[in-house]
A and B are shown apart, each in its own frame.
Chain A
Amino acid sequence: MQNDAHITVRDLTMAYGDFVLMRDLDFEIKRGDVFVIMGGSGCGKSTLLRHLIGLKEPAKGEIYYGSENFTEAPKARRDEILRRTGVLYQSGALWSSMTLAENVALPLGEFTDLNPAEIREIASLKLALVGLKGFEDYYPSQISGGMQKRAGLARAMALDPEILYFDEPSAGLDPISSKLLDDLILELKDSLGSTVVVVTHELSSIFAIATDSVFLDPESRTMLATGSPVELRDHSDNLKVRRFLLRGELENGEEVA
């Protein structure tokens, strides 16, 4: 099952009302990859993520999970597909009225037949995996932003998902915490064998973790390139993509049109 398409985006157009954000998106996310959705601010990276997890409907086009059409699937089937995914939201989005352990335990209680003691055990384990052992009974408001993100990751991993989504994991974190989170993502991916999809514009993160990527361009309102970010940086034909990946510093003699 290595290297087949896990998620396929076909001919996707994203729009808010009449305003078209991106059109003609066509790419595949392969099983086991760390796939980065990158592009400048406001180009629709997070909106693309919302499409992938069914929070927003495509204006046109389809999204496939494996060979199954997610866009046209009925609600119940969609929920089943999404149950095999985990999402880490930009701010963590922990349920503020519940403790960390309860946050992680909720999906376990809803979708498994485990008894409360076992659930509690698993919740502690997941929190320990992200370095939050001993914080089970803290409320989200009592811990720092970086810890909230890690707790959010523990919750996203609660059901051992096949696909993990990250929305701007390094936003609001200092360089060290953000590096630690990157390492954690890689480690978890290796041990769990999940497919990871990350929305980010953080270059250091992109080069550290990504094996494949798509580049969205707000001006032409479509994707400009796909492939490994390192490859794109060194060999892409598209100057905009290279400029982005080189922080705007192109070698002498090259001008961006």
Chain B
Amino acid sequence: MSAAAQVEIQRTGNGTAVLRISGDWLITAATPGPDDVQVDLTAGLEPRTVAFDSHGLGTWDTSILTFVIQLSDLCRDRGIDVDRSGLPQGVQNLLGLAEAVPEKEDARTTEIRKSVLEQIGEGTLSAAGSLGEMLEFLGHATITFARLAGRSVRFRRSDLMVLVQQAGAEALGIVTLISFLIGLILAFVGAAQLEQFGAAIYVADLVGVAMVRDVGALMTAIVMAGRSGAAYAAELGSMKVTQEIDALTTMGISPLEFLVIPRILALALMMPLLTIYADFMGILGGAFVGISMLDLSFTTYIQQTAGALSLHDLVGGLFKAAVYGILVALAGCLRGMQSGTSSSAVGVATTSAVVTSIVLIISACGAFAVIFYALGI
């Protein structure tokens, strides 16, 4: 059992106040602060000197150091001398160490509270700046792509193959699950409404057209944003931390060619394939509802779907899928390349990659809807 930390003030005749420190001063227990002695110390005639008597002091740790430092600051402001000779030698040494190097000027940053207007302004400027960076990156990537046609772009075929496998075959499981369920949900929602008109068979049209034209590509893209987009940002960000990107640059190998182009290619190639598969799984999901809830036969359902779809729908959907794939890869690589050089910066880059991808995908989806409508496709 430790004795409670205490401090008492004893005035002596010659203008000295002696602080009697006793008990165990531990950071885990309650210890007196400078406020506790300030009132007594400054009441009546202020002392010229403060001294310490630590005979009653048991064990001590950092808590006594902060007490003495805060008290010293207080005394300095009031022009009172502090005599530390009454403190244990260890405390005196540690205080000496802490004060050995003077505080560096301008090192301490002061947090200035900004007004709302100022924050909005800064936010706008930084958003404009990041848009500029995004366009610059897009420009670089486009130029490099143009050179790809001339075969003067350097990356390893084997890297591309691994990326294709990661973004393609390895994504099948999650794409199966998501698109089957989305088809199922669409069919449920549609069935509840269409059954009222006795038009339950049109669930097949609804699911088929929705999946193939838009939802298949959209859902696959969102899955890929969380899967591959995040992976690209994290991978490139870590490569920045470990200076692997610097090593490429100084070797005269452009990271854009070597790292970004194969990733864009992999997603641009795999997204349409995954989307065809997702469309198929979505239609199966719809058929499941059709057969189990609406008593349709599998053949009828499939025939009805086939009748509702045209090649236009499919090509349009696949075109969108390729564009989404490029957007996801671009956003992932851009955020990775922009990443700072600490582990938390890689986390920020990854989060921002997923957010950017999804914003880009949804915006593109909206734009496509308008354009396709205007063109009458």
Confirm or deny: A111 has a beta carbon within 8 angstroms of a beta carbon on chain B. yes
**Cα–Cα, bound, A7→B254 (Å):** 24
- Determine if B243 and A89 form an interchain contact, defined as CB atoms under 8 angstroms apart: yes
Confirm or deny: A256 has a beta carbon within 8 angstroms of a beta carbon on chain B. no
Chain B residues with Cβ under 8 A from A171's Cβ? Answer: none
- Determine if A85 and B244 form an interchain contact, defined as CB atoms under 8 angstroms apart: no
Chain A residues with Cβ under 8 A from B251's Cβ? Answer: 82-83, 106-107, 110
**Cα–Cα, bound, A111→B252 (Å):** 9
Q: Which residue of B lies closest to A80 (CB)?
A: B252
In whole Å, how far is A10's beta carbon from the nearest beta carbon of chain B?
21
In whole Å, how far is B145's beta carbon from the nearest beta carbon of chain A?
18
In whole Å, how far is A158's beta carbon from the nearest beta carbon of chain B?
9
Choice from B239, B249, B252, B253 contacting A55 with Cβ under 8 Å:
B249
- Determine if A95 and B243 form an interchain contact, defined as CB atoms under 8 angstroms apart: no
- Given A87-B247, A89-B247, A95-B247, A79 and B242 touching (CB < 8 A)? no
B244-261 contact mask (Cβ, 8 Å, vs A): 1 or 0: 101111111100000000
Chain A residues with Cβ under 8 A from B156's Cβ? Answer: 106
- Determine if A55 and B242 form an interchain contact, defined as CB atoms under 8 angstroms apart: no
- Determine if A90 and B252 form an interchain contact, defined as CB atoms under 8 angstroms apart: no
**Cα–Cα, bound, A80→B244 (Å):** 20
- Determine if A110 and B253 form an interchain contact, defined as CB atoms under 8 angstroms apart: yes
- Determine if A82 and B250 form an interchain contact, defined as CB atoms under 8 angstroms apart: yes
**Cα–Cα, bound, A108→B243 (Å):** 20
**Cα–Cα, bound, A50→B243 (Å):** 11
Chain A residues with Cβ under 8 A from B249's Cβ? Answer: 54-55
Number of interchain pairs (Cβ within 8 Å): 50
Choice from A82, A97, A155 contacting B252 with Cβ under 8 Å:
A82
- Determine if B250 and A54 form an interchain contact, defined as CB atoms under 8 angstroms apart: yes
Chain A residues with Cβ under 8 A from B252's Cβ? Answer: 79-80, 82-83, 110-111
**Cα–Cα, bound, A94→B246 (Å):** 11
- Given A91-B242, A96-B242, A110-B154, A85 and B250 touching (CB < 8 A)? yes
Confirm or deny: A232 has a beta carbon within 8 angstroms of a beta carbon on chain B. no
**Cα–Cα, bound, A87→B249 (Å):** 11
B215-252 contact mask (Cβ, 8 Å, vs A): 1 or 0: 00000000000000000000000010011101111111
**6 A-B pairs with the lowest CB-CB distances in the bound complex, closest first:** A79-B252, A93-B243, A93-B247, A89-B243, A53-B250, A87-B250
- Determine if B242 and A93 form an interchain contact, defined as CB atoms under 8 angstroms apart: yes
**Cα–Cα, bound, A106→B242 (Å):** 18
**Cα–Cα, bound, A91→B253 (Å):** 20
In whole Å, how far is A163's beta carbon from the nearest beta carbon of chain B?
11
Residues 272-315 of B at the A interface (beta carbon under 8 Å): none
Chain B residues with Cβ under 8 A from A110's Cβ? Answer: 154, 251-253
Chain A residues with Cβ under 8 A from B243's Cβ? Answer: 89-91, 93
Chain A residues with Cβ under 8 A from B244's Cβ? Answer: 93-96
In whole Å, how far is B164's beta carbon from the nearest beta carbon of chain A?
15
Chain B residues with Cβ under 8 A from A90's Cβ? Answer: 243
- Determine if B253 and A93 form an interchain contact, defined as CB atoms under 8 angstroms apart: no
Chain A residues with Cβ under 8 A from B239's Cβ? Answer: 95-96
Residues 74-89 of A at the B interface (beta carbon under 8 Å): 79-80, 82-83, 85, 87, 89
**Cα–Cα, bound, A106→B248 (Å):** 10
Choice from B154, B246, B253 contacting A89 with Cβ under 8 Å:
B246
- Determine if A55 and B247 form an interchain contact, defined as CB atoms under 8 angstroms apart: no
**Cα–Cα, bound, A89→B239 (Å):** 13
**Cα–Cα, bound, A93→B245 (Å):** 8
Chain A residues with Cβ under 8 A from B242's Cβ? Answer: 91, 93, 96
**Cα–Cα, bound, A90→B248 (Å):** 15
Residues 43-88 of A at the B interface (beta carbon under 8 Å): 50, 53-55, 79-80, 82-83, 85, 87
In whole Å, how far is B239's beta carbon from the nearest beta carbon of chain A?
8
- Determine if B154 and A55 form an interchain contact, defined as CB atoms under 8 angstroms apart: no
Residues 192-230 of B at the A interface (beta carbon under 8 Å): none
Chain B residues with Cβ under 8 A from A79's Cβ? Answer: 252
Q: Which residue of B lies closest to A90 (CB)?
A: B243
In whole Å, how far is A30's beta carbon from the nearest beta carbon of chain B?
22
Given A53-B250, A94-B247, output 7 extra A-B contacts at Cβ < 8 Å. Answer: A55-B250, A83-B252, A90-B243, A91-B243, A93-B243, A93-B244, A96-B244
Chain B residues with Cβ under 8 A from A89's Cβ? Answer: 243, 246-247
In whole Å, how far is A200's beta carbon from the nearest beta carbon of chain B?
17
Residues 147-180 of B at the A interface (beta carbon under 8 Å): 154, 156, 159
Chain A residues with Cβ under 8 A from B250's Cβ? Answer: 53-55, 82, 85, 87
Chain B residues with Cβ under 8 A from A106's Cβ? Answer: 156, 251, 253
In whole Å, how far is B337's beta carbon from the nearest beta carbon of chain A?
14
Chain B residues with Cβ under 8 A from A93's Cβ? Answer: 242-244, 246-247
